[in-house]
């Protein structure tokens, strides 16, 4: 088995330069004339029902056939201004340079027509450039739009620095979920109530990662109580073939609790067994995601690399067996 991580070189000047640039933007005080906007995109696949769904007599339960028909794809464009708790999401059939340019024109002319400049943070996808404006609009119009943008790119393999990813994660959980979305109109009908509700509630993002954290990293100390629970969990999974539930039950019976002071669950055990912090690494970004970054930490590892590899191999094998059984 091979597990891939995004591990930048120890001295990656380009990565650090882009990261500190974005973090400096996030540290700016709020200025209504220069709003900081983060944007990102998310592909969505459509699935239509192969057969008509059935409903229970009281209408509360929908029975959906497990067969489906692939019905094309779309792309969600998401903008968010974290300091005021605003976001907007729109679905388009494609994610071309022209699609991006039209979204930017909407942002500048309809959402922020009176500001001096929009400070735009995004990843460096090839469509995300001023050139896309010139490819879509006449030079005079493209220049007008470009002159109202101040663009800051997240580093390569560092898209987790884009706060719009946090909103997309919330969107995936709260809006799309496990819904079988048949077409773009159905998707748009889901998006608008979602972002409207979050805007009304002014759901914000509490960003805590700063330039100071990068330049002066704190040494992580894992207490003995947590260390014992972690080491037992890894050994129980690898050497005793115990399930997540069995490990959680053992720890709870002996009075162990999570960092948050709560009982262990299957999910917290899964998170523990996939967290590279226990082999002496520091992860930035969502654990297990393709954009996660892994650095060597200054803290002492609890679990050996050999035991870590054993657990990851077993997890992959068990998932494979479960998929085959299904």
Question: Which parts of the chain have pLDDT scores under 70?
Answer: 1-11, 50-55, 57, 59, 62-68, 217-220, 284-293, 322-326
Q: Write down the pLDDT at residue 50.
A: 60
- What is the model's pLDDT at position 2? 42
Locate 14 and state its tokens: 């380009």
- At 66 the pLDDT is 66
Please say whether the beta carbons of 302 and 278 come within 8 A: yes
State residue 195's pLDDT score.
93
Q: Can you name the residues that pair with 79 across neighbouring β-strands? A: 39, 88
H or E element, residue 296: strand 293-296
- Which residue from 217, 238, 228, 221 is spatially nearest to 315, judged by alpha carbons? 238
Contacts of 19 by beta carbon, 8 Å cutoff, 6+ apart: 154, 155, 158, 161, 214
CA 14 to chain centre: 22
CATH 3.30.420.10 at 13-211, yes or no: yes
pLDDT digits (tens, 9 = 90+) for 234-270: 999 999 999 999 999 999 999 999 888 899 999 999 9
Q: With a threshold of 0.75, does the pTM exceed it?
A: no
Q: What are the residues whose beta carbons fall under 8 Å from the beta carbon of 125, sequence distance 6 or more?
A: 41
Report how far residue 298's alpha carbon sits from residue 218's, in angstroms, rounded to the nearest whole number: 8
CATH number of 219-325: 3.90.1750.20
pLDDT for the residue numbered 16: 84
Domain range list for the chain: 13-211, 219-325
């Amino acid at each position: 088995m091979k597990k891939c991580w995004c591990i930048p070189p120890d001295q990656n000047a380009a990565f650090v330069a882009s990261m500190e640039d974005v973090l400096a933007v996030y540290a700016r005080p709020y200025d209504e004339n220069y709003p900081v906007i983060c944007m990102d995109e998310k592909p969505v696949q459509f699935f239509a029902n192969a057969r008509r769904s059935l409903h229970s007599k009281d209408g509360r339960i929908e029975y959906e056939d497990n067969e489906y028909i692939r019905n094309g794809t779309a792309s969600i464009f998401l903008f968010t201004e974290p300091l005021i708790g605003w976001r907007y999401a729109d679905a388009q059939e494609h994610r071309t340079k022209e699609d991006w340019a039209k979204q930017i024109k909407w942002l500048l002319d309809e959402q922020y027509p009176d500001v001096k400049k929009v400070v735009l943070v995004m990843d460096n996808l090839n469509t995300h450039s001023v050139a896309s404006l010139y490819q879509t609009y006449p030079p005079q119009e493209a220049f007008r739009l470009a002159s109202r943008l101040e663009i800051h790119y997240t580093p390569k393999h560092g898209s987790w620095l884009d706060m719009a990813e946090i909103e997309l994660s919330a969107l995936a959980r709260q809006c799309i979920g496990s819904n079988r979305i048949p077409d773009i109109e159905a998707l748009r009908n889901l998006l608008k109530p979602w972002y409207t509700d979050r805007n009304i509630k002014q759901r914000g993002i509490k960003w805590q990662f700063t330039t100071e954290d990068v330049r002066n990293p704190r040494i992580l100390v894992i207490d003995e109580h947590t260390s014992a629970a972690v080491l037992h969990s890894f050994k129980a999974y690898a050497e005793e073939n115990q399930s997540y539930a069995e490990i959680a039950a053992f720890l709870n019976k002996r009075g162990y609790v999570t960092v948050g002071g709560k009982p262990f669950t299957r999910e917290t055990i899964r998170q523990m067994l996939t967290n590279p912090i226990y082999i002496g690494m520091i992860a930035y970004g969502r654990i297990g995601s393709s954009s996660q970054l892994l650095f060597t930490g200054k803290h002492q590892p609890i679990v050996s690399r050999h035991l870590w590899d054993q657990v990851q191999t077993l997890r992959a094998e068990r998932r494979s067996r479960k998929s085959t059984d299904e």
